[in-house]
Structure 1
Amino acid sequence: MNKIFLILCLTLLFSFSTAQAQNYSTHKVKQGETIESIAEKYLVKPSDIYGLNPDAKKELRINSVLIIPKPKAIEEPKVTVVKELEGFKKHRTKKRQTLYSLSKQYNVSEEDIKKYNKFLYAEPLRKGDKLQIPIFKITEVEEVNELTKTYTVLPKEGKWRIAYKFGITVKELEELNPEMGDVLQEGQILKVPNIGGEEEKVVDEKYSYYKVLPKEGFYRLKLKLGLEQEELETLNPVLKEGGLKVGMILKVPYSNLPDDITQHDAVKVNLVDSITDFNAKHIAIMLPFRLNHVDFDSESDIKRSVEKDPYLDASLDFHSGVLMAMDSLKTLGVSLKVDVYDTKYQLSEVKRIIAKNNFENIDAVIGPLTPGNFEEVASQLRKYNTPVVSPIGTNLKLYDNVFQSRPSNDLLKKRVVNFVKADTLASNIIVIADTQNKAVSDDLKREFNFAKQIHSRKDKEGVDKYFVSKGDIQDELKPGKNIVFLETQDAGFVSSVVSILTALIQKENIEENKEAIEIVLVTTNISSAFKGDEVDNTHLSKLQFHFATMSRAYNENDNNAFVKKYNQIYNVTPNNRAVKGFDLTMDVVLRLVSSEDLYMSVNEAPLTEYVENKFAYKKKLFGGYYNDTVYLVKYDDLAIVEVKQEVKPKPEVIEEVKQEVKLNKDKKEVKQ
């Protein structure tokens, strides 16, 4: 299979699915469940389940997945009929009339006729009998539990939102509604506490929401969330009355991790082990294939179209990764419907796609690639609260439904700066930059007050020559460890500086009275200038070249399953665009099937990682979500490896933990 085959497939079919999600859901059988209990849970008949799962008649196996038909109707509320006697109507019995025919004629029961004509208890009805037929005023009274009321589920509303709105835990909501199912449907009717409308809480998108876990008290929440008990009680007044309860939803502010805490503090979650929702998910992919520009006359013409159109080439690479992800998700038991749209790299086409298709029930949209088209989609789908994920964009307009998966350039720079700040062995810092990067050099000077700045030389006309001499650098080096920032996008300048720095590395020589000079090269912006053929990778390895990157290169020696299978199918090693298509699709779908929605997954899956990319989304106070994690890597023996920094906890945190341990120990001694 190759890109030509992919193009032909796309022209034949632009919407495909791995499972029909319209009329069915799925259920994973748990210990102790029966077909009858499952049918009751989903408001269907056992025969309906057997009809779609005939093997279940022989054996109902734990962890097997059943196809469940959607209920035809929501269970009607119980109604009590109240009859009030208003009077009587006289009737003389005619030939062949019976109590049954009279009950139908007057719409009363046979028992009511006997009740007001008592002789009929002992004698049969005869022609000429004079009867008084009761006339009732009929009223129907719906049974109402004053402690609860009904609530209609809103679009994309999950259990946690409803539980928070009515001040109960998710478990309490499930106990009130044992038949509610794992995933709520729009329009579903639930029982909720009958509190006054003014007491109902509003989910404020300016805040995050946290579900209290077992054994979590105010002290543990302080360590995890950085909030004192008083701050939590201010945001959640219910805590003052009832205290903390397992499963309750707390409102907490969005905030970034402090600068001295690295991303390694976030707990990495393997979402493959966290799948809880086996209902089919529906996503859309929007890419600028521009198939209307492809010449289909021959295979060579198609190949030429791919080579000359960078958008088509990039889209096919990304889409090949999406297809691989779909296959992997299918093996995990995840049902997925995927709609693929060709945006043609035209805003007008994007508007047409939105207008002609229903996106209200889409769980997530990946793409488009270009900022203008992406903003149009995100803006239009805000009304549905549909999350829209950007594969490559940075500095996007972060609407509240936007997920920017590519880390910002500022984050890359910040990661390198924090790495240098944490290095207590560095004795000297030097910044080498060309004219175009003078502003970056000045920013680094403000970060490191004692840093030395070296600027590339200019000619008589003031034009940058992208050149520094060996003496320029040697004069600023000191014995011990020197960290050198190199800020440029010029490959020739990189090659020249790297060669000079490598030559200036010096080992200790006691006989010649020479002290060791160690040089570590770093940059805040890894550009193609560092990756060209002009730059010697051996020199980069000797300089322990460090940089931050949004994705790390996978190690071919790891025998990665994705890389191996991709090679088998496409006869080529996947490039970074194909890997990004795989990683991003896996992350989006696994977040959907392991959390109530993509928004909740931000709290429940703080950090995920796949082949080359990792995702740790955070929310802007007034806006959407951005990926707040990058890799710090370095050249090591001609290989690029990830740098792990050990972060020691603050002394006050260590002391607080000691106090908690001592307190728990004292409690045990008292009990004994």
Structure 2
Amino acid sequence: MKNILTVIFIAFTISLSAQNYKEHKVKAGETIESIAKQYLVTPFDIYALNPDAKTKFQPNTVLIIPNSKIKNEAIEEESRELIGYKKHKVKRKETLYGLSKKYNVSEDEIKKANRFLYSENLKKGDKIRIPNYRTVISKQTLNNTVKKYTVQPKEGKWRIAYKFGITVAELEGLNPNMNDVIQPGDKLNVPNIEDEEEKPIETSYGYYEVLPKEGFYRLKVKLDLTQEQLEELNPELKETGLKAGMVLKVPAGVNTEGGLSAVEVTNLKMNLKNFETKKIALMMPYRLDRIDVDAVNETKEKIKEEKLLSIVLDFHVGVLMALDSAKQLGISTDLKVFDTRYRPSAVRSLLDENDFSEYDAIIGPMEEESFDRVASALKNDRVPVIAAMKKPKEVYSNVFQTLPEDKLLRKKMIDFVKADSLKTKVVIISDQAHRASSEALKNEFPGAKLIFTRMDRKNKTKDAFFIYPTELDNVFAAGKTIVFLETNNNSFASSIISMLNALINDKTEIVLMTLDKNKAFEGKDIDNNNLSNLKFHYPSVNKDFDESNSNGFVRRYQKEYGVSPSKYAARGFDLTLDILMRLASEETLYDASSDTIETEYVENKFRYKKAMFGGYVNEAVYIVKYDNLRIVKAN
């Protein structure tokens, strides 16, 4: 038996040698990611040849490393060498941050030279050592070289990655300073392959970027293409297999966006395995510079008057309660809170004064420009930045957009109606501003009756926001009729809701719906009794919690504050608990955010889908309805 194993090992070694594979002996402190970076391959490549490395990775382990066609040219690499120390006597108001900027060293480097600063604060009169470094420039040469490539018109990252047979992430790794949107004329590092090896972009085909943990089965469900079909179009798959980030050629007309199929809600409590302390930053506009903490009554009044501050504080309470719930599950959290003051300049200062590269997630900021600044600054460090209550201007690769897109809400509502097995009539009532979207809605329901508001008699270009009651005569026969009401006008919505309510009888059922539930359906002019009678349905990013069911968060909140939690407190709780549970179920938030994982908490649910060349967008949506003056989830 021993001789057989020896023969097999020798044969395997000869095989590896013939393919120019390398061996790497793991050193203390190394990770799969750092080794992959060293050899310019992906962790997936290493795991493919070393499956045991997923569970048995330790110093002195010998790994088989495949060749990479991505090699850097000889590059200059800067390093710093300690050559001595300067003495410094601390003056009044001096801080570690100020000294680090003054002497061009990091705060941690100062602490290492003065160990007492790990346990004590810097104070006037302290005599400390400031490390003095010199810059050493060395050249690192690898086997092959990269070459420079000039970006052509209409070329994006995925086109270039496909052309040179690499993933988008590998292209970004070769060009760390590359802009998010590349421009014609930009010079990029690409693998030094022969011109004839470059793959042409064929406009008669579509292209798809493989997502993390996506296998042939998932692609069959999403793209309706078998493994054999994909390999025929992409022959390299037979050698490399699927890799996250690789770009595949697919037939024209294939829906590369792919709809999310129904999945069961995932109970992450059953998957918890990563119990390292989670480092979370909460960036919110507390605007403490405008509050006098000594004037208690004045502060209370300010909280009542300022809606933004009230929202932020409610959200903050929800976050803290989520941390407590996570702690009971064994998940500890290091939370740092930062006041953005709702000003981009303040956020810029926070980024300059703090190192966020080691954080597991950043929640916020709320203000759009500030959020964009944080997400962009931390993109290269792959720190997840969570858009908690507003949609971001741009969904970078490290952004998690927690609010679903409006077009998805509309689609879910339409699909909900189409899924009704009963043959029901559809009526669409719309104001002039919603003419285009209502005509598109009629295309979804060709037999629907479409009624638009009348124009003003004097000003023919102005919407008068009314229809004649006679236009509803003979529209509602016995049975069920669904009415879509599309408007932003409160008085028009109120009049239509009243007219429809009056038409309900023992034989006639009218169900009111809308694709966009806005303020037109709220306020003193809208009778909630009428909405309940009409079983008003609409798509929503959240649902109201069910007070009839036991809920630990709601009970704790009511006990602590004497009232039910607001939707902002519930969102702070749901969002934060979801982040912590996902982080505890995998190594990173990215690993825990495939579109097969849907989670649901008090009022919110989350199911992320990675944009083809961007970040992650929540696509979990509720359809809710009025039922006996309560808003409940519609089935």
| Fold match (TM-score > 0.5) | yes
Aligned to 1:346: 343
> Cα 1:207–1:259, aligned 2, differ >3 Å: closer, same or farther?
closer
Aligned to 2:105: none
- The residue correspondences of 1:71-82 to structure 2 (distance < 5 A) are none
> Cα 1:237–1:360, aligned 2, differ >3 Å: closer, same or farther?
farther
> Cα 1:639–1:279, aligned 2, differ >3 Å: closer, same or farther?
same
Instruction: State the Cα distance separating 1:166 from its structure 2 match.
Output: 2.5
CA distance in 2, matches of 1:635, 1:600: 38
Alignment coverage as a number of residue pairs: 474
CA distance in 2, matches of 1:395, 1:231: 37
Is contact 1:153-1:190 (8 Å) kept? no
CA distance in 2, matches of 1:254, 1:523: 39
Greater displacement, 559-568 / 489-498: 489-498
- The residue correspondences of 1:39-50 to structure 2 (distance < 5 A) are none
Post-superposition CA distance 1:375-413 (Å, at most 9, x none): 111111112111111012226311111110011111111
Is contact 1:209-1:252 (8 Å) kept? no
Instruction: State the Cα distance separating 1:149 from its structure 2 match.
Output: 4.7
Aligned to 1:649: none
1:165 maps onto 2:45 in alignment? yes
Instruction: State the Cα distance separating 1:439 from its structure 2 match.
Output: 3.0
Is contact 2:608-2:618 (8 Å) kept? yes
Instruction: State the Cα distance separating 1:203 from its structure 2 match.
Output: 5.2
CA distance in 1, matches of 2:367, 2:351: 16
Greater displacement, 624-633 / 231-240: 231-240
Aligned to 1:482: 481
1:538 maps onto 2:537 in alignment? no
SS for the counterpart of 1:341 is strand
1:407 maps onto 2:404 in alignment? yes
CA distance in 1, matches of 2:67, 2:387: 41
Post-superposition CA distance 1:335-384 (Å, at most 9, x none): 21111111000000011001100011011111011211111111111121
Aligned to 1:207: 210
Is contact 1:479-1:517 (8 Å) kept? yes
Instruction: State the Cα distance separating 1:504 from its structure 2 match.
Output: 1.1
Instruction: State the Cα distance separating 1:529 from its structure 2 match.
Output: 2.6
> Cα 1:293–1:604, aligned 2, differ >3 Å: closer, same or farther?
same
Aligned to 1:274: 271
CA distance in 2, matches of 1:376, 1:577: 24
Aligned to 2:613: 622
Q: Specify the code of the residue in structure 1 equivalent to 2:598.
A: L
CA distance in 1, matches of 2:448, 2:595: 41
CA distance in 2, matches of 1:451, 1:314: 41
Aligned to 1:580: 571
Is contact 1:583-1:611 (8 Å) kept? yes
**Partner residue of 2:228 out of 227, 230, 233:** 230
1:420 maps onto 2:417 in alignment? yes
- The residue correspondences of 1:463-542 to structure 2 (distance < 5 A) are 463-507=462-506, 516-542=507-533
Instruction: State the Cα distance separating 1:190 from its structure 2 match.
Output: 6.8
- The residue correspondences of 1:44-63 to structure 2 (distance < 5 A) are none
Aligned to 1:194: 65
Length-normalised TM-score, structure 2: 0.67
**Partner residue of 1:179 out of 44, 51, 58:** 58
Instruction: State the Cα distance separating 1:237 from its structure 2 match.
Output: 6.6
> Cα 1:259–1:560, aligned 2, differ >3 Å: closer, same or farther?
farther
> Cα 1:545–1:302, aligned 2, differ >3 Å: closer, same or farther?
same
Q: Specify the code of the residue in structure 2 equivalent to 1:164.
A: F
> Cα 1:167–1:158, aligned 2, differ >3 Å: closer, same or farther?
closer
- The residue correspondences of 1:229-268 to structure 2 (distance < 5 A) are 229-231=227-229, 233=231, 240=238, 265-268=262-265
Post-superposition CA distance 1:50-102 (Å, at most 9, x none): xxxxxxxxxxxxxxxxxxxxxxxxxxxxxxxxxxxxxxxxxxxxxxxxxxxxx
CA distance in 1, matches of 2:261, 2:65: 45
CA distance in 2, matches of 1:621, 1:261: 11
Is contact 2:595-2:607 (8 Å) kept? no
Post-superposition CA distance 1:190-223 (Å, at most 9, x none): 74313223399965454312277xxxxx779745
Aligned to 1:372: 369
- The residue correspondences of 1:137-152 to structure 2 (distance < 5 A) are 147-150=23-26, 152=30
Is contact 1:321-1:579 (8 Å) kept? yes
CA distance in 2, matches of 1:429, 1:366: 42
Is contact 1:415-1:548 (8 Å) kept? yes
Instruction: State the Cα distance separating 1:231 from its structure 2 match.
Output: 4.5
CA distance in 1, matches of 2:214, 2:52: 13
Post-superposition CA distance 1:273-315 (Å, at most 9, x none): 2111011110111111111112335222001221232221111
1:561 maps onto 2:545 in alignment? no
> Cα 1:494–1:224, aligned 2, differ >3 Å: closer, same or farther?
closer
Is contact 1:210-1:252 (8 Å) kept? no
Aligned to 1:8: none
How many percent identity over aligned positions? 38
> Cα 1:297–1:482, aligned 2, differ >3 Å: closer, same or farther?
same
> Cα 1:640–1:604, aligned 2, differ >3 Å: closer, same or farther?
closer
CA distance in 2, matches of 1:167, 1:584: 33
SS for the counterpart of 1:557 is coil
SS for the counterpart of 2:397 is coil
Greater displacement, 230-239 / 254-263: 254-263
> Cα 1:211–1:486, aligned 2, differ >3 Å: closer, same or farther?
closer
Instruction: State the Cα distance separating 1:642 from its structure 2 match.
Output: 1.5
Aligned to 1:60: none
- Please give the root-mean-square deviation of Cα atoms over the aligned residues, in Å: 3.5
SS for the counterpart of 2:48 is coil
Q: Specify the code of the residue in structure 1 equivalent to 2:44.
A: Y
Aligned to 2:178: none
CA distance in 1, matches of 2:34, 2:558: 39
Q: Specify the code of the residue in structure 2 equivalent to 1:363.
A: D
SS for the counterpart of 2:323 is helix
Is contact 1:169-1:249 (8 Å) kept? no
Is contact 1:363-1:386 (8 Å) kept? yes
Greater displacement, 226-235 / 434-443: 226-235
CA distance in 2, matches of 1:257, 1:561: 45
Aligned to 2:321: 324
Q: Specify the code of the residue in structure 1 equivalent to 2:607.
A: A
Any stretches of 5+ residues in structure 2 without a counterpart? 1-20, 72-164, 170-208
SS for the counterpart of 1:496 is helix
Instruction: State the Cα distance separating 1:232 from its structure 2 match.
Output: 5.3
CA distance in 2, matches of 1:583, 1:636: 24
Aligned to 2:446: 449
Aligned to 1:383: 380
SS for the counterpart of 2:466 is coil
**Partner residue of 1:641 out of 597, 622, 632:** 632
Is contact 1:235-1:251 (8 Å) kept? no
Post-superposition CA distance 1:314-345 (Å, at most 9, x none): 11011010000011111111121111111000
Larger radius of gyration: 1
CA distance in 2, matches of 1:285, 1:254: 41
Aligned to 1:592: 583
**Greater relative contact order (CA < 8 Å, ≥ 6 in sequence):** 1
Is contact 2:391-2:401 (8 Å) kept? yes
Q: Specify the code of the residue in structure 2 equivalent to 1:497.
A: I
> Cα 1:156–1:466, aligned 2, differ >3 Å: closer, same or farther?
farther
> Cα 1:373–1:527, aligned 2, differ >3 Å: closer, same or farther?
same
Is contact 2:268-2:582 (8 Å) kept? yes
SS for the counterpart of 2:603 is coil
Is contact 2:428-2:451 (8 Å) kept? yes
Length-normalised TM-score, structure 1: 0.64
> Cα 1:505–1:338, aligned 2, differ >3 Å: closer, same or farther?
same
CA distance in 2, matches of 1:225, 1:567: 47
Greater displacement, 414-423 / 359-368: 414-423
CA distance in 1, matches of 2:320, 2:35: 29
Is contact 1:211-1:250 (8 Å) kept? no
Is contact 2:397-2:615 (8 Å) kept? yes
SS for the counterpart of 1:394 is coil
Is contact 1:163-1:169 (8 Å) kept? no
CA distance in 1, matches of 2:484, 2:249: 33
